[in-house]
Structure 1
Amino acid sequence: MTDQGPRACTVGFGDGEREGIFHMFGHVKALDEGNNPYVHLIAVVELKDGRVIEVEPASVRFAKS
């Protein structure tokens, strides 16, 4: 897959769906209930109001170009 740069998308966030710009996927290290480390995948999206959020990749729907 080639790097296409930022892409328009819709993301499920809060009480509904919001439009934004997808920037990248990333990995976040976290701890489970037993204090064991694990890594999970996130998507970084900039909303139209300028906020940058981290969401589950499954909640991102890319706009058709």
Structure 2
Amino acid sequence: MHKLIIQKIMEYINEFHKEWIERTRQSIASWSKQPVSPEDVKKQQEMLNKQRAIRESKLKS
């Protein structure tokens, strides 16, 4: 009984990862078709910098 439960959990996890990998591949394919402007790159970097600053300030607290 215990082995069956573990097997079902592992099947669920494997299926979840397969779906996640496929969604990631589709996203990458979609992103590669869309050219990114320098302005978009700058905005994205600014957002990432803000997120990092927030994360680092929380770690120091």
Please confirm whether the aligned pair reaches a TM-score higher than 0.5, indicating the same fold: no
TM-score by length of 1: 0.20
More strand by share: 1
**Higher RCO (Cα < 8 Å, 6 or more apart):** 1
More helix by share: 2
TM-score by length of 2: 0.21
Q: Which protein is bigger by CA-based radius of gyration?
A: 2
